[in-house]
Amino acid sequence: MHSSSPDSLEFVVGTSGHVDHGKTLLVKTLTGIDTDRFEEEKRRGITIDLGFAPYVDKQGTRLAFVDVPGHEKFVHNMLAGVSGFDAVMLVIAADEGVMPQTREHLHICRLLQIPTGLVALTRIDLVEDPEIIDLCRSEVQDLVEGTFLEDRPILPISSMTGEGIPELRMALRDLQSGLVPPDLEQPFRLYVDRSFSVKGFGTVVTGTVLSGSLEAEGKVRLFPENKNLRVRGIQVHGDSRKSIHAGNRAALNLAGISKEEVKRGDQLALGDSLLTSYMLNVELEILEDVSSDLKQRSRVRVHLGSREVMGRVILLESSSLDPGTVSLVQLRLEEQVSIRYGDRFIIRSYSTLGTLGGGRIIDPAPGKSRRIQRDLAKRLRRVAGSENEIRVEEVIYLQSVRGLVEREVALRAGLSVRQSVKWLQGLQSRRKILCVDPVRKRFVHVDHLERVGKFLFKVLGTHHRNYPEREGMNRVELGGKLSLLFNDREMEVLLKFYVKNEVLTAHQSLFALPGHESHVSDQTRKQVRQCIEIIRKGGFQPLRRTLILKELGLDEKKGIELLKSAVHEKKLVRVAADLHYTNEQINGAIERLREHFTKNSFITVIEFKELLDISRKHAVELLEYFDTRHLTNREDNKRSPSRIMEG
């Protein structure tokens, strides 16, 4: 936390508790602001949606109150605000004591790991016997035992008479010392809880900054829509700011988007700082007071930040979950969500609207490899552990042969990029992972590379059996077998890895299995020599394949294999399907073309035909071959020099 910053001491305190226990009145007593914004709220006398109020005391303590509804029908609105709490003020009416939503709200705050808070015993002016207050205090102590509110202040208060308000203000000031410092190292992130339009300004959204910082005129991305936006202006409690950081309640004026395009539950974050998925692997705790066990594929409401989505629970370790148990499960959602490792969530029943439990995300955007599924629970346990290096290794393993790029490792392991780089370097030095692409910094676990190596071993084994006369396969041929997984640059790294680990051998540009020796018959060698001589005699206009095979006395199948073998051994160059040249002929054509370009800026097909004294068809195919080799550039019917002048 930066003490020099005027807004560095701000934090967010949320109310919680049963309906009609005096949460909104207490916030008004402290701040002078009625957080009930809607006419229906004022008419019915209950809070329906989130309310907000800034608070500054005489000592300069600055915080923002988020007032939540207490009625059981509006718990989903309460959940939309609680994810941004730094602390909670649990409000319990002394004349009623602990009620159902008192317990439910406390469960939610505990499951979301709100770090600290206090308890306000309100409406003491309605209690005639002081022993009732003592009994209520005892009941509250039993309620909060074993939770984050154990040993926190329990303050008797009357919003009507003002009794206990000075002590509450002091307790709010003391709350700050127990807060976790703002997470400024992680990228900026904000869950939207309101979206509206202001005349003359356009779309404005509000929310609590969960991590990082942002400056006015900065760029953000709207998730899960993945839309880039510009921030026109920033306000905190109605005051314009040049920047905001974690812990601020903020309003952002967004350019280039309507209020209808941004809704509660969306997020604003930087660049690629979140993952978007329909599936989540999570650690789920079922509350002890849930009435029945959770069955396989149960439909539930999943609350992530201010977002609510429907989904089904896929149990990974058992066929059902009993109340009070913790287990690994997969959530399969009906809408996409944007998340990162460690995000907290709540699940509620689909029909009866009771809170079932909650937990944290272990594997955002899981891979779909069926091979991984066999020991998924064991792997997820390692990801859920506290050892960072083990977690980084496992998140890479869980993505199978796809692997992960450096940036995504940080998201999936809940680390900063700087931290993830440290552990990646350690894993590389211990040969647990391999960086297959030094440019994109893509890492693959060596266990999966072993599988890839076995596949290449089979491919080369088949090749050696079918073509015993060949020394091996080149990088392009092997890369073609893995083109859906690795690009050419990555194949180069992989093949070096396999040669170093003696899975393959390399001879010049060809790769083979250890111990492989090519076996070419004298008859085949003679036919190759004859083939090359026939082509050489044709000059720049050699015979086509059909005529060559006729002169050699070979059928089409054997003749094509002979030509393929000669090309593979780099004794011939395949220019077109039925047209081959020797290396000397190609080099001679290139030299004449290069000489032409020293005096001319381009050449036409007709000019090239006359330059080599060949047919138009030969000229077209040669020029197209040069185009594919990037020796020339085609512009309509003309060619201009490209790499040809580098030789």
Residue 2 scores a pLDDT above 70: no
In which band, very low, low, confident or very high, does the pLDDT at 75 lie, cut at 50, 70 and 90?
Answer: confident
Cβ distance 406 to 381 under 8 Å? no
Tell me, what's the pLDDT at 519?
73
Reported pTM: 0.80
**Mean pLDDT on 420-442:** 95
In which band, very low, low, confident or very high, does the pLDDT at 6 lie, cut at 50, 70 and 90?
Answer: very low
Query: 123 — alpha (psi -120 to 50), left (phi > 0) or beta?
Result: left
Q: Cβ contacts of residue 181 below 8 Å, gap of 6+?
A: 1
Outline where DSSP puts E strands in 316-447.
Answer: 320-321, 326-339, 344-349, 355-364, 404-405, 433-437, 442-445
Among the ranges given (196-200, 290-294, 369-373), the one the predictor scored with the smallest mean pLDDT: 369-373
What's the fold here for domain 367-469+476-494?
Arc Repressor Mutant, subunit A (1.10.10)
Residue 8 scores a pLDDT above 60: no
Tell me the longest C-alpha to C-alpha distance in the chain: 118
In which band, very low, low, confident or very high, does the pLDDT at 517 lie, cut at 50, 70 and 90?
Answer: confident
Tell me, what's the pLDDT at 9?
63
DSSP state of 73: G
In which band, very low, low, confident or very high, does the pLDDT at 451 lie, cut at 50, 70 and 90?
Answer: very high
pLDDT digits (tens, 9 = 90+) for 197-222: 998 889 999 999 999 999 999 999 99
**Mean pLDDT on 584-600:** 94
Cα separations in angstroms, 406 against 413, 434, 443: 11, 12, 7
**Mean pLDDT on 161-179:** 91
- Percent of the chain with pLDDT strictly greater than 70: 98
Measured from the Cβ of residue 505, the count of other Cβ atoms closer than 10 Å reads 17
Q: Cβ contacts of residue 160 below 8 Å, gap of 6+?
A: 125
Parallel, antiparallel, or unpaired for β 243-245 and 326-339?
Answer: unpaired
Tell me, what's the pLDDT at 39?
81
Nearest to 305 by CA among 198, 190, 425: 190
In which band, very low, low, confident or very high, does the pLDDT at 646 lie, cut at 50, 70 and 90?
Answer: confident
Nearest to 276 by CA among 186, 192, 366, 210: 366
HEC states along 171-184? HHHHHHHHCCCCCC
Q: Which residue has the tokens 């996409």?
A: 336
CATH of region 11-178:
3.40.50.300
- Percent of the chain with pLDDT strictly greater than 90: 75
Tell me, what's the pLDDT at 550?
92
| Stronger pLDDT, 4 or 408, i.e. the higher one | 408
Q: Which residue has the tokens 């330059």?
A: 611
Cβ distance 504 to 495 under 8 Å? yes
Tell me, what's the pLDDT at 573?
94
Tell me, what's the pLDDT at 249?
92
Structure tokens at 67: 């007032």
Cβ distance 51 to 194 under 8 Å? no
**Mean pLDDT on 598-622:** 95
Tell me, what's the pLDDT at 1?
33
In which band, very low, low, confident or very high, does the pLDDT at 595 lie, cut at 50, 70 and 90?
Answer: very high
Tell me, what's the pLDDT at 520?
67
Helix (H) or strand (E) holding 312: strand 307-315
**Mean pLDDT on 597-609:** 94
Q: What is the distance, to the nearest Å, from the Cα of residue 634 to the centroid of all Cα atoms in its chain? A: 41
What's the fold here for domain 582-647?
Arc Repressor Mutant, subunit A (1.10.10)
Nearest to 140 by CA among 53, 25, 243, 18: 18
Cβ distance 579 to 618 under 8 Å? yes
**Mean pLDDT on 453-475:** 91
Tell me, what's the pLDDT at 281?
95
Residue 67 scores a pLDDT above 60: yes
β-bridge mates for residue 190, sequence order? 209, 268
- CA dist., res. 155 & res. 93, Å (int): 11
In which band, very low, low, confident or very high, does the pLDDT at 161 lie, cut at 50, 70 and 90?
Answer: very high
**Mean pLDDT on 500-509:** 92
Mean pLDDT of the chain: 91
Instruction: For the chain, give every domain's residue range.
Output: 11-178, 189-269, 275-366, 367-469+476-494, 582-647
- CA dist., res. 193 & res. 182, Å (int): 20
DSSP state of 542: P
Residue 29 scores a pLDDT above 80: yes
Which CATH code, of 2.40.30.10, 3.40.190.10, 3.90.550.10, 1.10.10.10, is assigned to 275-366? 2.40.30.10
CATH of region 189-269:
2.40.30.10
- CA dist., res. 415 & res. 458, Å (int): 39
Tell me, what's the pLDDT at 37?
81
**Mean pLDDT on 110-136:** 94
Cβ distance 338 to 267 under 8 Å? yes
**By CB neighbour count within 10 A (0-12 exposed, 13-18 middle, 19+ buried), where does 312 fall?**
middle
Cβ distance 524 to 532 under 8 Å? no
On the question of a common fold for 189-269 and 367-469+476-494, the answer reads no
Structure tokens at 437: 């692409």
Give the type of residue at 635.
E
Nearest to 85 by CA among 59, 63, 61, 70: 63
Among the ranges given (57-66, 70-79, 329-338, 520-529), the one the predictor scored with the smallest mean pLDDT: 520-529
Tell me, what's the pLDDT at 3?
34
In which band, very low, low, confident or very high, does the pLDDT at 314 lie, cut at 50, 70 and 90?
Answer: very high
